[in-house]
Structure 1
Amino acid sequence: MDAKKLGGAVLYGVITILLIAITASLVFSILLRFTDLDEHSISLFVTIVSFLSLFIGGFMSGGKGKQKGLILGGLTGFIYSFSVFLFQYLGLDSLFTLEQTVYHLCYITTAMMGGILGVNLSGGTTRDS
Structure 2
Amino acid sequence: MESKGFSISVLYGLIAIFLIAIISSLLFSLILTFTSVQETSLRLIITIISFLSLFIGGFISGGKGKRKGWLLGGLTGIIYTFIVFLFIFLGHDSLFTMNQLIYQISYIIVAMIGGILGVNMTKSRAA
Judge same fold: TM > 0.5, yes or no: yes
Ranges of 4+ aligned residues in structure 1 off by more than 6 Å: none
Alignment of 1:62-73 (within 5 A): 62-73=62-73
The number of equivalent residue pairs is: 124
Alignment of 1:28-107 (within 5 A): 28-107=28-107
| Partner Cα distance (1:102, 1:13) in 2 | 21
Unpaired runs of 5+ in structure 2?
none
Aligned pair 1:27/2:27, yes or no?
yes
1:60 corresponds to which letter in structure 2? I
- Deviations 1:12-49 (CA, angstroms, capped at 9, x unpaired): 00010000000000000000001100110000000000
- Deviations 1:80-106 (CA, angstroms, capped at 9, x unpaired): 011000110011101000000000000
Question: By percentage of residues, which structure has more helix?
Answer: 2
Per the normalisation by structure 2, the TM-score is 0.96
- Deviations 1:87-129 (CA, angstroms, capped at 9, x unpaired): 10011101000000000000000000000000000017xxxxx
Aligned pair 1:117/2:124, yes or no?
no
Per the normalisation by structure 1, the TM-score is 0.94
Unpaired runs of 5+ in structure 1?
125-129
| Partner Cα distance (1:9, 1:84) in 2 | 20
% identical aligned pairs: 60
- Aligned-pair Cα RMSD in Å: 1.0
| Partner Cα distance (2:77, 2:52) in 1 | 12
